């Protein structure tokens, strides 16, 4: 009799804990869901993600550039990413195009330094440096640090929560500014490392020329970013049970003046899906 009573009490306690847990989950605000997800990711040692990115330009938002990318996190602090680019050769048959599209075009190694993801490769090009821009782990970390408005979408699939995250305009601009400057600095570090392979007599002349061209590009970037307008919106799909992200899409719109003094607009679109324990 006593044993039966104890069992009933234990079951009742478990039910109460479950109900309390469910109530806590339901009562969380959108901001608390984001913090919950970020904390969950902070405790993950390994995961994978796959995604697609596209650049849309003009008033009709024509897609000019598209690529696929993937990444794998190991030991919590080591991230490898690679991209595949679609073939643009109209003369290839379908089989050749598929083969070309599945061939890795850029690969990059990133390392977490406690604050951000840094490029760990010594051989860096503009293509590989730009690949880090699509890193969803970096995107989530950047979102956490800036001013934003987070609301919850009510049309989420069963078992998920969907957060709409809009960065404040100045925060969106500053985030883009930091990313582009980081890419340029990574490219600079890359060619400085490769200069060590040149004969000493040739190295100084080549370094001066590269530094001159790099400085021109950096000045143009600074001028463009100073006068541009930016808007960034993210949609983060969260597993309600684990609190971990399942998918994140983003759209960053940019309005700027080109070198000819003409105002242009473009948007960077990304769509990343996460995998765990595989």
With a pLDDT cut of 70, the percent of the chain lying above it is 78
- Quick one: pLDDT at residue 86? 55
pLDDT in tens, 24-54: 456 789 999 999 999 999 889 999 999 999 9
Q: Per-residue pLDDT averaged across 68-90, rounded? A: 81
162: in domain:
yes
- Quick one: pLDDT at residue 143? 95
**CB of 81 within 8 A of CB of 67?**
no
- Quick one: pLDDT at residue 39? 92
pLDDT in tens, 81-102: 998 765 444 444 444 443 444 4
pLDDT at residue 104 above 70? no
Cα 70 from chain centre: 11
- Quick one: pLDDT at residue 19? 39
Question: Rounded to an integer, what distance in angstroms lies between the CA atom of residue 270 and that of residue 136?
Answer: 9
- Quick one: pLDDT at residue 274? 97
Q: Per-residue pLDDT averaged across 98-118, rounded? A: 70
- Quick one: pLDDT at residue 100? 42
86: in domain:
no
18: in domain:
no
The answer to which of 77-86, 170-179, 269-278 has the lowest mean pLDDT is: 77-86
Residue 189 belongs to what H/E stretch? helix 169-194
pTM across the whole model: 0.79
Residue 1: band (very low, low, confident or very high) from pLDDT cuts 50, 70, 90:
very low
19: in domain:
no
pLDDT in tens, 221-232: 888 888 889 999
Question: Rounded to an integer, what distance in angstroms lies between the CA atom of residue 180 and that of residue 64?
Answer: 19
Sheet holding 104-112, edge to edge: 117-119, 104-112, 78-84, 62-74, 47-57, 263-275, 245-257, 229-239, 160-167, 148-153
Q: 52 or 22: which carries more pLDDT confidence?
A: 52
pLDDT at residue 240 above 70? yes
221: in domain:
yes
- Quick one: pLDDT at residue 49? 96
Q: 54 or 61: which carries more pLDDT confidence?
A: 54
187: in domain:
yes
74: in domain:
no
If one counts the domains in the chain, the total is 1
Computed over every residue of the chain, the mean pLDDT equals: 81
Q: 237 or 263: which carries more pLDDT confidence?
A: 237
206: in domain:
yes
Domain span at residue 45 reads 30-68+122-275
Question: Rounded to an integer, what distance in angstroms lies between the CA atom of residue 129 and that of residue 81?
Answer: 11
Q: 119 or 121: which carries more pLDDT confidence?
A: 119
């Amino acid at each position: 009799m006593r044993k039966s009573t104890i069992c009933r009490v234990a079951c009742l306690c478990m039910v109460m804990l479950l109900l309390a847990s469910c109530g806590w989950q339901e009562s969380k605000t959108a901001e608390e869901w984001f913090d919950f997800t970020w904390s969950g990711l902070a405790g993950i040692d390994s995961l994978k993600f796959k995604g697609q990115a596209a650049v849309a330009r003009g008033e009709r938002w024509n897609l000019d550039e598209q690529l696929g990318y993937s990444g794998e996190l190991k030991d919590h602090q080591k991230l490898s990413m690679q991209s595949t680019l679609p073939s643009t050769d109209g003369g290839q048959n379908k089989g050749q195009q598929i083969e070309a599209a599945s061939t890795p075009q850029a690969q990059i190694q990133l390392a977490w330094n406690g604050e951000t993801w840094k490029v760990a490769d010594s051989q860096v090009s503009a293509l590989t440096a730009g690949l880090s821009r699509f890193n969803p782990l970096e995107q989530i970390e950047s979102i956490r640090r800036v001013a934003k408005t987070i609301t919850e979408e009510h049309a989420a699939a069963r078992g998920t929560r969907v957060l709409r995250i809009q960065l404040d305009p100045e925060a969106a601009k500053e985030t883009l500014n930091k990313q582009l400057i980081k890419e340029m600095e990574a490219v600079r570090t890359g060619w400085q490392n490769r200069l060590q392979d040149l004969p000493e007599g040739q190295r100084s002349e080549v370094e001066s020329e590269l530094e001159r061209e790099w400085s021109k590009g950096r000045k143009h970037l600074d001028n463009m970013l100073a006068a541009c307008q930016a808007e960034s919106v993210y949609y983060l799909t969260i597993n309600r049970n684990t609190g971990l992200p399942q998918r994140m899409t983003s759209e960053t719109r940019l309005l700027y003046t080109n070198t000819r003094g003409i105002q242009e607009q473009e948007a960077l679109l990304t769509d990343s899906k996460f995998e765990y324990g595989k």
